[in-house]
């Protein structure tokens, strides 16, 4: 019988025995399943970098982290030994905000991202990519009856506009086409797609959304924003079927693992998609831990029954999600002042809009506090941040101050005065520094202007206030590229090479903390994840180089070589 099985049997038989407890404590160090050594091992423990020479793993947990000489007594003939060969080991990255379900759709759709992640540089390149994808996936198109392209960005297209239904009709006039904007807050339909979802000249704009119109002010031009976009997805994806939806979930989780994430997130699910993820988990489809936050406008009953701090088959419902506004680069974030120079047909003084009724938002936040359910809230614009602060303040006053860890998602356009109020409320900001690269120039030229753009994702504002922060990719808004997240947080360089907000830059170790131990704290799992420490899960990544010994401008050149979840390799390069 293996040591692990002997131990399990003894625990079962002697759980109340003090003597047995002492015996088992010694037995825990009798054998390690695996030992890692031979390269820098950065533990992420503490305010300053700390390295160890070797790590031992048993039953999916770390049983030793220290000098290499200390693992000798833990090894026997069955212990697997892994020589890092100079490569660097860190704790696995913890995703503080992303969308694996949509990421799965992205992984299986036409890639319309602009360079350097795709070739979507103008309308004709989008059309070319769609035609190529249709030809390569003719059987799928015939079966599903819909064509999906993911990641176009009007700000990066030569035409500096959204595609229209006519642009997509040129690709297919018969099969519904849906393009998803890189922000995931806007979509474009061809004429067949508009017909499939029932959007006509008589369809009113839904509350919290916009159906853009042609010159007559009535006919939909194909572009749909926010709620008008979110509500059409289930209609278009009906033909995919349950098996297809499950494929999206598992494909998304696996794509995250390739970038070193051992805990991933679906940051806005409805009860149906949460149920799909639970089924995928039960069928063994998740190799990483998956947390989901259920849309509170439709999922309060589901949350009451399914919220849990513990995983079952690598899946748990971690809390609720609310969305206050939209996309800053798409001019749908809710600001406290007009946009600087918005590109499009916007009225004078346009400042975006809320995607939820403010009183409804406040009532819903109060419900989460009353039921002690963690909440994350999407708030990009300054006005959206004000509403979040007001709602949290009222809820705390009504239900008391506890360790609730409410999370601000994105917070791209913030005022300095909001930071202290977030701190007083115990808010954890999950920021999006990749915006400095992808849309930094756009923000400076069109959304907030050159002065305010310096402070998007204001990481140093929070550090100087004595607060932690986390950094996310919001995939599929961007690829879940951990090294680009790290690079952007440290460098804050735009596509044009400018440094946007040099005073907001942080050092590499701080940026790594925002990807490991701080997001573990954000999701109430700092006792088991986020650092390499005895007793924690053996969640590791192996990198081609040590980030702390790499020049800041070269951080994005580091590659994830291997991802290890609870002592088992779940992804390896080549």
Provide the mean pLDDT of the chain.
91
Q: pLDDT-derived band of residue 109, with 50, 70 and 90 as boundaries?
A: confident
CB atoms within 10 A of CB 457: 28
467-507, pLDDT tens digit by residue? 999 999 999 888 899 999 999 999 999 999 999 999 999 99
Give the position of tokens 């999906």: 148
Beta-bridge partner residues of 65: 55
Query: Do the Cβ atoms of 471 and 458 come closer than 8 Å?
Result: no
What's the CATH number for 119-236?
3.10.310.70
- Name the least confident of 93-107, 136-150, 162-176, 390-404: 136-150
Q: CB-based burial of residue 304 (10 Å sphere; 0-12 exposed, 13-18 middle, 19+ buried)?
A: exposed
What interhelical angle do 271-282 and 241-257 show, nearest 10?
A: 70
Token pair, residue 424, equals: 């007083």
DSSP category for residue 427: P
Strands 375-379 and 407-410: parallel
187-204, pLDDT tens digit by residue? 999 999 999 899 999 999
**Whether residue 29 has a cis bond before it, omega within 30° of 0:** no
pLDDT of 356: 96
**Whether residue 324 has a cis bond before it, omega within 30° of 0:** no
Query: Do the Cβ atoms of 60 and 566 come closer than 8 Å?
Result: yes
Backbone angles phi, psi at 416, to 5 degrees: -60, -35
Radius of gyration of the chain (CA): 24
DSSP category for residue 519: H
Q: CB-based burial of residue 69 (10 Å sphere; 0-12 exposed, 13-18 middle, 19+ buried)?
A: exposed
* H or E segment and range at residue 86: none
pLDDT of 474: 93
pLDDT of 429: 98
125-168, pLDDT tens digit by residue? 999 999 998 998 888 788 778 888 988 999 889 999 999 999 99
346-370, pLDDT tens digit by residue? 999 999 999 999 999 999 999 999 9
**DSSP 3-state of 114:** coil
Q: CB-based burial of residue 131 (10 Å sphere; 0-12 exposed, 13-18 middle, 19+ buried)?
A: middle
Query: Do the Cβ atoms of 287 and 280 come closer than 8 Å?
Result: no
Average pLDDT in the 235-251 region? 73
Query: Do the Cβ atoms of 25 and 43 come closer than 8 Å?
Result: no
Architecture of domain 3-93: Roll (2.30)
CB atoms within 10 A of CB 27: 14
pLDDT of 252: 86
Backbone angles phi, psi at 533, to 5 degrees: -150, 145
- Name the least confident of 224-228, 322-326, 413-417, 487-491: 224-228
Instruction: From residue 95, give the alpha-carbon distance in Å to each of 140, 143, 485, 525, 530.
Output: 31, 34, 11, 12, 11
Contacts of 533 (CB under 8 A, 6+ apart): 43, 45, 62, 65
pLDDT of 400: 97
Query: Do the Cβ atoms of 92 and 570 come closer than 8 Å?
Result: no
pLDDT of 408: 98
Helices then strands, counting H and E runs in the chain, come out as: 22, 22
pLDDT of 433: 96
Largest interatomic CA distance in the chain: 83
Residue 17 has pLDDT above 70, yes or no: no
Q: How far apart are CA 139 and CA 145, in angstroms?
A: 10
Residue 29 has pLDDT above 90, yes or no: no
Query: Do the Cβ atoms of 404 and 424 come closer than 8 Å?
Result: no
pLDDT of 240: 66
DSSP E strand stretches across 331-487:
375-379, 407-410, 428-431, 470-471
Query: Do the Cβ atoms of 427 and 462 come closer than 8 Å?
Result: no
Average pLDDT in the 63-74 region? 95
Q: How far apart are CA 309 and CA 194, in angstroms?
A: 41
DSSP category for residue 444: I
CB atoms within 10 A of CB 300: 17
Q: Indicate the domain borders of the chain.
A: 3-93, 119-236, 243-572
Residue 1 has pLDDT above 50, yes or no: no
Residue 172 has pLDDT above 80, yes or no: yes
How far is C-alpha 326 from the geometric centre of its chain's CA atoms?
Answer: 16
Taking alpha carbons only, the member of 84, 133, 140 closest to residue 110 is 133
543-561, pLDDT tens digit by residue? 999 999 999 999 999 999 9
What's the CATH number for 243-572?
3.20.20.140
Q: pLDDT-derived band of residue 427, with 50, 70 and 90 as boundaries?
A: very high
Token pair, residue 454, equals: 């310096």
Q: pLDDT-derived band of residue 239, with 50, 70 and 90 as boundaries?
A: low
Strands 80-83 and 34-42: parallel
Residue 6 has pLDDT above 60, yes or no: no
The per-residue b/e assignment along 404-414, b for 16 or more CB within 10 angstroms, e otherwise, is bbbbbbbbbbb
Q: pLDDT-derived band of residue 8, with 50, 70 and 90 as boundaries?
A: very low
Query: Do the Cβ atoms of 198 and 176 come closer than 8 Å?
Result: no
Classify the C-alpha dihedral 49-50-52-56 as positive or negative. negative
How far is C-alpha 439 from the geometric centre of its chain's CA atoms?
Answer: 18
**DSSP 3-state of 168:** helix
pLDDT of 183: 81
DSSP category for residue 204: P
Residue 9 has pLDDT above 80, yes or no: no
How far is C-alpha 204 from the geometric centre of its chain's CA atoms?
Answer: 32
Taking alpha carbons only, the member of 435, 303, 428 closest to residue 371 is 303
Strands 289-295 and 186-189: unpaired
């Amino acid at each position: 019988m293996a040591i692990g099985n002997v131990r399990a049997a003894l625990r079962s038989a002697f759980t109340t025995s003090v003597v047995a407890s002492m015996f088992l404590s010694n037995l825990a160090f009798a054998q390690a399943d695996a030992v890692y050594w031979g390269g820098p091992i950065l533990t992420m423990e503490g305010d300053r970098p700390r390295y160890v020479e070797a790590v031992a793993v048993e039953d999916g947990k770390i049983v030793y982290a220290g000098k290499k000489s200390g693992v000798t007594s833990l090894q026997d003939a069955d212990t697997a030994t892994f020589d890092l060969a100079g490569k660097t080991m860190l704790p696995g990255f913890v995703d503080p905000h992303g969308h694996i379900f949509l990421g799965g759709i992205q992984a299986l759709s036409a890639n319309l991202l602009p360079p350097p992640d795709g070739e979507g540089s103008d309308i004709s390149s989008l059309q070319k990519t769609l035609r190529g994808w249709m030809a390569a996936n003719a059987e799928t198109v015939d079966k599903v009856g819909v064509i999906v392209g993911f990641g176009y960005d009007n700000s990066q297209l030569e035409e500096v506009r959204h595609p229209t239904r006519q642009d997509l009709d040129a690709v297919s006039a018969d099969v519904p086409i849906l393009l998803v904007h890189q922000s995931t807050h806007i979509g474009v339909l061809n004429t067949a797609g508009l017909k499939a979802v029932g959007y006509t000249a008589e369809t009113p704009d839904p509350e919290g959304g916009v159906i853009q119109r042609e010159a007559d002010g009535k006919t939909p031009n194909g572009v749909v924003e926010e709620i008008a976009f979110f509500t059409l997805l289930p209609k278009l994806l009906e033909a995919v079927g349950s098996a297809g939806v499950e494929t999206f979930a598992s494909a998304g989780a696996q794509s995250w693992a390739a970038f070193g994430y051992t805990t991933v997130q679906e940051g806005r699910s409805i009860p149906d998609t949460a149920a799909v993820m639970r089924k995928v988990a039960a069928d063994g489809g998740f190799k990483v831990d998956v947390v989901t936050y259920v849309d509170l406008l439709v999922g309060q009953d589901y949350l009451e029954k399914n919220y849990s701090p513990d995983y079952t088959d690598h899946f748990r419902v971690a809390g609720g999600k609310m969305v206050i506004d939209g996309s800053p680069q798409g001019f749908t974030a809710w600001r406290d002042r007009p946009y600087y120079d918005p590109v499009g047909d916007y009225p004078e003084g346009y400042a975006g809009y809320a995607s939820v009724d403010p009183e409804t938002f406040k009532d819903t936040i109060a419900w989460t506090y009353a039921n002690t359910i963690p909440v994350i809230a999407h708030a990009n614009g300054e006005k959206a941040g004000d509403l979040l602060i007001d709602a949290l303040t009222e809820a705390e006053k009504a239900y008391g101050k506890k360790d609730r860890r409410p999370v601000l998602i994105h917070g791209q356009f913030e005022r300095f005065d909001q930071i202290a109020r977030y701190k007083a409320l115990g808010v954890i900001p999950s920021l999006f520094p990749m915006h400095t690269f992808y849309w930094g120039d756009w923000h400076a030229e069109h959304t907030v202007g050159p002065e305010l753009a310096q402070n998007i994702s204001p990481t140093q504002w929070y550090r100087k206030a004595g607060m932690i922060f986390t950094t996310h990719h919001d995939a599929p808004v961007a690829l879940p590229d951990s090294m680009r997240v790290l690079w952007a947080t440290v460098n804050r360089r735009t596509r044009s090479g400018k440094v946007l907000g040099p005073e907001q830059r942080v050092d590499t170790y701080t940026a790594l903390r925002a990807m490991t131990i701080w997001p573990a704290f954000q999701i109430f799992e700092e006792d088991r994840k986020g650092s390499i420490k005895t007793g924690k899960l053996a969640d590791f990544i192996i990198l081609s180089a040590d980030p702390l010994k790499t020049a800041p401008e070269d951080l994005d050149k580091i590659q994830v070589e291997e991802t290890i979840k609870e002592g088992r390799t779940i992804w390896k390069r080549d």
